[in-house]
A and B are shown apart, each in its own frame.
Chain A
Amino acid sequence: MPILGSEVELLGVSKSRPKGTGRETGGLVLNHLNLRVEPGSFVSIVGPGGCGKTTLLRLLAGLEPPSAGHVHVGGEIVRGPSPRRGIIFQDATLFPWLSVIKNVTFGPLSVGVSPKDAEARATHWLNFLGLGKFLQRYPHELSGGMQQRVAIARAIVNEPDLLLADEPFGGLDWITREQVSEELLRLWHTTRKTFIYVTHALEEAVYVSQRVIILSARPGTVAKVIDIDLPAQRWAHADLRFTPEYAHLVEEVREVFAEQTALAAFAASSPI
């Protein structure tokens, strides 16, 4: 049994932004959010648009500080970015001047792994993700799905205790999306690190995770937590997506989600 990933705990976390910055209107984004994620579990976060999902991930990654409350990962307060918390962004954000293999060795080389080991580790994960033939290519020579897989390899190669993914498959077509998310699931199964996966796709969330957390409309807070009681090795059950249990769980998530989206629309239309 591999060592489990980090436990994640958010205590009364709020985040507000000054008005007129970024793509959103400013004001309170996250409101007194409490959340606990078990070590080594796979958790999805869904919620209506603009509810602060991305902000939540950025707080966990240490890219931004919370305005109030505490973010704990592995029993420590998050004080900045760390290679122990990997993140896969919405866009692959690969370094365009580095080949695939060099993109992936960037992390290990940054934390002082020897070049030889770094290359071995990078090659291992790239092979795992089916990119063994493309090690020397540049990112612009790859398709969107392949780029995103390189980004997964780059995030996982540092062996972080917590892996964050921010709608990593948003730009991909459905078939690629299913493939890559299944790879992510297999990855989680082998590494047993803590995975937190932010997504728009409710079915995807149900399919990959042990737990789905639905955030409320902005300012975001936890609206509901739904445990997903499906077999762990899901790829071994080809027809899982067609079982009534699966459909039922998706429906349950969808209902809460629709409720929150309606609330968001109502809040937007009312003059306050």
Chain B
Amino acid sequence: MTIWLIVLAVHNLIPQVNPGFKIPADYLSPAALLVLGITLVSWITAYFARGRRENVLAIYRVLIVLGVALIPWEVAERLAWIKPPFFPTVSKVIGVYIEDYPTLLLSIAYSMRLMIIGYVIGSIAGISFGLALGWSKHVSNWSMFWMRLIGPIPATAWIPLAIVIFPNTFSAGIFLIAFASWFPVMMLTWSGVAGVPKALLEAAQTLGADDKRLLRHVVIPAALPNVFVGLFMSLGTAFAILVVAEMMGVKAGLGWYITWAQGWSEYHKVYASMLVLGALFIIVVSGVFKVRDRLLSWQKGILRW
């Protein structure tokens, strides 16, 4: 709490060196007051509801680190040690969410659409290829070399080709994201299938399971923990490729927003959208974790997200 009072004090008490012609709207003060409000409310909650204490502490830790980081930034900015536009004021970055939110929300929507379509296609392809490779000796004997050759080519290296092959940048972007998520998912699914304990397969066979049942009820569940490792790995690359794909010429989306803002030297928008990207990643990862926790509830000592 004191830290945020300091933030507020720094912001309002140190006189601005070199003020511009126009005084910009002040968003930091209300934001800091909001944080102080949250702190107070959660304090009261923690006092009355003991079970919530851990959650409140978690919020506190985040807010404290944020406050500590903001103090030097705000001091430096007040004393004009750092210069806009490359290092904008905290207030301006917050202002983006208030002034430019329609464009930002639209960009988020476009990005998520591109990302989810590409990721889902890539994951389905990866799981199918991985199962085929692990299940059939013929498939792995014939295609392993080519998979190993094509798979590790960075998705970004496909950009020139993707632009030529696909009718528009949207489908090219989907291809790039799908490609980037396909390979890790495939490799880990494959290793998961290869690692299914032989004893379980034999047990299932002596119980009368045919190949279909073996695949559906033994191989897939046994490989699932590995499949999820692949899904998490590919999520990171898919996000990176998402931004790259949007920068190469998609007409909307966060990557586009960043390049657009950079073009106008509006660096506060760059910062704001970077934070949004981070938050989106957390949300998407949490979603995948939720699915995993449901499907793998049988696992002992599973890491909860």
Contacts and interface: CB of A to CB of B under 8 A. Distances in A.
Contacts of A138: 298
B299 interface: yes
Interface of B: 197, 199-200, 202-210, 213, 217-218, 221-222, 224, 296, 298-300
A145 to B, nearest CB: 18
Interface residues of A, number: 26
A110 B298 contact: no
A63 to B, nearest CB: 5
B199 A89 contact: yes
26 contacts: A61-B206, A63-B206, A81-B206, A83-B206, A83-B207, A85-B206, A86-B206, A86-B207, A87-B203, A89-B203, A91-B199, A93-B203, A95-B218, A95-B221, A96-B298, A97-B221, A97-B224, A97-B296, A106-B204, A106-B209, A107-B207, A110-B208, A111-B208, A154-B203, A154-B207, A155-B207
Contacts of A158: 207-208
Closest CB pairs A-B (n = 4): A83-B208, A107-B207, A81-B205, A110-B208
Interface of A: 61-63, 80-83, 85-87, 89, 91, 93, 95-98, 106-107, 110-111, 138, 140, 154-155, 158
Contacts of A85: 206
B199 to A, nearest CB: 5
Contacts of B210: 110
Binding site secondary structure of chain A = loop
Contacts of B300: 140
Contact of A110 (B197, B199, B207, B299): B207
B193 to A, nearest CB: 15
Nearest to B299: A96
Contacts of B224: 97
B149 to A, nearest CB: 31
Contact of B209 (A86, A98, A110, A154): A110
A63 B207 CA distance: 12
Contact of A81 (B200, B202, B213, B298): B202
A125 to B, nearest CB: 13
A82 B206 CA distance: 5
A97 B298 contact: yes
A106 B217 contact: yes
A241 B197 CA distance: 39
A155 B203 CA distance: 9
Contacts of A97: 221-222, 224, 296, 298-299
Contacts of B213: 110
A83 B203 CA distance: 10
B245 to A, nearest CB: 37
B299 A106 contact: no
B213 to A, nearest CB: 6
A80 B205 CA distance: 9
Most B CB within 10 A of own CB, among A81, A85, A86, A154: A81
A110 B215 CA distance: 12
A61 B224 CA distance: 29
Contacts of A106: 204, 207, 209, 217
Contacts of B218: 95
A95 B200 contact: yes
Nearest to B210: A110
Nearest to B197: A93
A195 to B, nearest CB: 15
A93 B208 contact: no
A87 B208 CA distance: 12
Nearest to A164: B206
Nearest to B224: A97
A63 B201 CA distance: 10
B96 to A, nearest CB: 47
A158 B208 CA distance: 9
A24 B131 CA distance: 31
Contacts of B202: 61, 63, 81, 89, 93
A158 B206 CA distance: 10
Nearest to B208: A83
Contacts of B217: 95, 106
Contacts of A96: 298-299
Contacts of B298: 96-98, 138, 140
A96 B200 CA distance: 10
B206 to A, nearest CB: 5
Nearest to B203: A93
A142 to B, nearest CB: 12
Nearest to A151: B203
A61 B199 CA distance: 13
A93 B200 contact: yes
A185 to B, nearest CB: 22
Most A CB within 10 A of own CB, among B206, B296, B300: B206
Nearest to B214: A110
Contacts of B205: 63, 80-81
